Amino acid sequence: LCGLVLKIWRFLYNAWNLGVAEPKKVIHGVKVGLSLLLVSFFYYMRPLYEGVGGNAMWAVMTVVVVFESTVGATLCKCINRATGTFLAGSLALGVQWIANKSGETFEPIIIGISVFLLASATTFSRFIPSVKTRFDYGAVIFILTFSLVTVSGYRVDRLFELAYQRLSTVAIGTSLCIFITMVFCPIWAGSGLHDLIVCNLEKLADSLDGCVGECFKDDKAKLGNEEGPSKRMQGYKCVLNSKATEEVMANFARWEPGHGRFNFRHPWKQYLKIGASMRNCAYCIEALNSCINSEIQAPDCLKKHLSDVCMLLSTNFSEVLKELVIIMNTLTKSSKIELLIGEMNFAVQKLQDSLNSVPNSFIGPTVSTIQAPNEANRETIPKTAIPSLMDVFPMASLVYLLIQIAARIEGIADA
Amino acid sequence: LCGLVLKIWRFLYNAWNLGVAEPKKVIHGVKVGLSLLLVSFFYYMRPLYEGVGGNAMWAVMTVVVVFESTVGATLCKCINRATGTFLAGSLALGVQWIANKSGETFEPIIIGISVFLLASATTFSRFIPSVKTRFDYGAVIFILTFSLVTVSGYRVDRLFELAYQRLSTVAIGTSLCIFITMVFCPIWAGSGLHDLIVCNLEKLADSLDGCVGECFKDDKAKLGNEEGPSKRMQGYKCVLNSKATEEVMANFARWEPGHGRFNFRHPWKQYLKIGASMRNCAYCIEALNSCINSEIQAPDCLKKHLSDVCMLLSTNFSEVLKELVIIMNTLTKSSKIELLIGEMNFAVQKLQDSLNSVPNSFIGPTVSTIQAPNEANRETIPKTAIPSLMDVFPMASLVYLLIQIAARIEGIADA
Cβ atoms of residues B151 and B116 within 8 Å: no
- Hey, is the C-beta of B281 within 8 angstroms of any chain A C-beta? no
Distance between CA B43 and CA B51 in Å, rounded? 10
Contact indicator for A362, A300 with CB cutoff of 8 Å: no
Evaluate whether ipTM surpasses 0.90: no
Chain B: give the shortest CA distance to residue A353, in Å: 9
**Which of A111-120, A376-385, B131-140 shows the lowest mean pLDDT across its residues?**
A376-385
Calculate mean pLDDT across residues A78-92.
85
B362 — pLDDT class (breaks 50, 70, 90): very low
pLDDT at residue B173 greater than cutoff 70: yes
Residues B173, B167: Cα–Cα separation, whole Å: 10
Compute the distance between CA of residue B271 and CA of residue B248 in angstroms, rounded to an integer.
12
Separation in Å, CA B176 to CA A212, A263, B31, B184: 60, 48, 11, 12
CA distance B227 to B232: 9
Chain B CB contacts of A143 under 8 Å are 32, 36, 64
Q: Are A337 and A306 in contact (CB under 8 A)?
A: no
Count of helices and strands (H, E) across chain B: 17, 0
Which chain A residues have a beta carbon less than 8 Å from that of B18? 127-128
Query: B27-45: b or e for each residue (b if 16 or more CB lie within 10 Å)?
Result: bbbbbbbbbbbbbbebbbe
Q: Please give the full DSSP string across A166-218, using - where no structure is assigned.
A: HHHHHHHHHHHHHHHHHHSS---HHHHHHHHHHHHHHHHHHHHHHHHHHHT--
Are the C-beta atoms of B156 and B162 separated by less than 8 Å? yes
The answer on pLDDT for A118 being more than 80 is yes
Nearest-10 Cα torsion for B189, B195, B198, B200 = -80
Q: What pLDDT, in 10s, does the model give residues A263-314?
A: 666 667 777 777 776 776 677 666 666 655 554 444 555 556 666 666 666 6
- Which of B115, B155, B359 is facing A378, going by the closest CB pair? B359
Distance CA A398, CA B391 (A): 18
Question: What type of residue sits at position B189?
Answer: A
pLDDT recorded at residue A193: 78
Total residues found in chain B within this entry: 415
Q: Please give the backbone phi and psi of residue B373, each rounded to the nearest 5 degrees, phi first.
A: -65, 125
The pLDDT of residue B101 is: 82
* pLDDT surpasses 60 at A23: yes
- Does any CB of chain B come closer than 8 Å to the CB of residue A225? no
Q: Chain B contact for A294, CB < 8 A?
A: yes
Q: Which residues of A122-156 are buried (b: 16+ CB within 10 A; e: fewer)?
A: bbbbbbbeebeeebebbbbbbbbbbbbbbbbbbbe
Give residues with Cβ within 8 angstroms of A252, minimum separation 6: A70, A72, A73, A76, A189
pLDDT tens readout for residues A178-234: 888 777 777 777 777 777 777 777 777 777 777 666 666 554 444 444 445 556 666
- DSSP letter for each residue of B98-129: HHHHT-TTHHHHHHHHHHHHHHHHHHHHTTSH
The yes-or-no verdict on residue B413 having pLDDT over 80 is: no
Task: Compute the nearest-CA separation of A30 from chain B (Å).
Answer: 5
CB burial of A34-64 (b: ≥16 within 10 Å; e: otherwise) equals bbbbbbbebbbeeeebeebeebbbbbbbbbb
The backbone region for A53, taken as left when phi is positive above 0, alpha when psi lies in -120 to 50, beta otherwise, is left
- CB atoms B378 and A358 under 8 Å: no
Q: State the nearest Cα–Cα gap between A170 and chain B, in angstroms.
A: 15
Asked if A409 contacts A376 with a C-beta cutoff of 8 angstroms, the reply is no
Question: Is the CB of B108 inside 8 Å of chain A's CB atoms?
Answer: yes
Written as one letter, the residue type at A15 is A
Three-class secondary structure of residue A297 per DSSP: coil
Closest Cα in chain A to B59: A148
Chain A nearest CA to B16, separation (Å): 10
Give the torsion sign (CA, A264, A265, A269, A275). negative
Residue A207 has, within 13 A of its CA and on its CB side, a CA count of: 27
Amino acid letter, residue B116: F
Give the burial class of B140: count Cβ atoms within 10 A of its Cβ; 0-12 exposed, 13-18 middle, 19 or more buried: buried
Query: Does A356 contact B at CB distance below 8 Å?
Result: yes
Single-letter amino acid code for the residue at B176? L
Among the listed residues B313, B283, B281, B282, the one whose alpha carbon sits nearest the alpha carbon of residue B215: B313
Shortest Cα distance, chain A CAs vs residue B364, angstroms: 8
Q: What is chain A's length?
A: 415
CA distance A299 to chain B (A): 16
- Chain B residue numbers with beta carbons less than 8 Å from the beta carbon of A379 are 356
Q: Is B370 on the interface with A (CB under 8 A)?
A: yes
Closest CA to A305 of A373, A351, A251, A344: A351
- Picking from A38, A36, A24, the residue whose alpha carbon sits closest to that of residue A69 is A24
- Higher-scoring residue by pLDDT: A348, B105: B105
Per-residue pLDDT of B266-291, as tens digits, reads 667 777 777 776 776 676 666 666 65
Provide the pLDDT for residue B9: 85
The answer to whether the CB atoms of B60 and A147 lie below 8 A apart is: yes
Got the DSSP string for A236-250? HHHHHT-HHHHHHHH
User: B262 and A259 in contact (C-beta within 8 Å)?
Assistant: no
With an 8 Å Cβ cutoff, are B33 and A115 in contact? yes
Whole-angstrom distance, CA of residue A56 vs CA of residue B143: 16
- What percent of chain A has pLDDT above 90? 0
pLDDT per residue over A135-171, tens digit each?
888 888 888 888 877 777 666 666 677 777 777 878 8
CB of A149 within 8 A of CB of A88?
A: yes
Are B202 and B325 in contact by the 8 Å Cβ rule? The answer is: yes
Nearest to B385 among A43, A44, A385 (CB): A385
| 3-class DSSP assignment, residue A145 | helix
Do B29 and A124 make contact, defined as CB atoms within 8 angstroms?
A: yes
DSSP B193-228: HHHHHHHHHHHHHHHHHHHHHHHT--HHHHHS--HH
Q: Does A298 touch chain B (CB under 8 A)?
A: no
A357 CB neighbours in chain B (<8 A) are: 378
Q: Which pLDDT does position A224 carry in this prediction?
A: 44
Question: Which residues, including other chains, have CB under 8 Å from residue B369's CB and lie 6 or more apart?
Answer: B377
- pLDDT surpasses 70 at A128: yes
Stated pTM of the model: 0.72
Question: What contacts A218, CB < 8 A, 6 or more positions away?
Answer: none
Say yes or no: B20 contacts chain A, CB-CB below 8 A: no
Helices (H), B45-70: 46-52, 56-66
What pLDDT score does B410 carry?
A: 52
Q: Do B33 and A123 touch (CB under 8 A)?
A: yes
Beta bridge partners of A262: A259
pLDDT per residue as tens digits for the range B184-208: 777 777 777 777 777 777 777 777 6
| Chain A residue with Cα closest to B50 | A155
For residue A146, CA distances in Å to A111, A122, B270 come to 10, 11, 43
In angstroms, the separation between the Cα of residue B168 and the nearest Cα of chain A is 18
Highest mean pLDDT among A302-311, A361-370, B350-359: A302-311
User: Which amino acid makes up residue A359?
Assistant: P
CB of B23 within 8 Å of a chain A CB? The answer is no
Percent of chain B with pLDDT over 70: 53
Question: What pLDDT is attached to residue A213?
Answer: 67
User: Is there a contact between A37 and B116 if contact means CB atoms under 8 Å apart?
Assistant: yes
Check whether B330 has a pLDDT greater than 50: yes
**Per-residue pLDDT band at B310 (split at 50, 70, 90):** low
pLDDT score recorded for residue B383: 34
DSSP letters, B71-103, are HHHHHHHHHHHHHHHHHHHHHHHHHHHHHHHT-
Interface of B with A in 145-174 (CB under 8 A): 147-148, 151-152, 154-155
Closest alpha carbon within chain B to A155: B43
Nearest to B14 among A128, A148, A155 (CB): A128
Distance of CA B96 to the CA centre of its chain: 44
Q: Quote the mean pLDDT of chain B.
A: 68
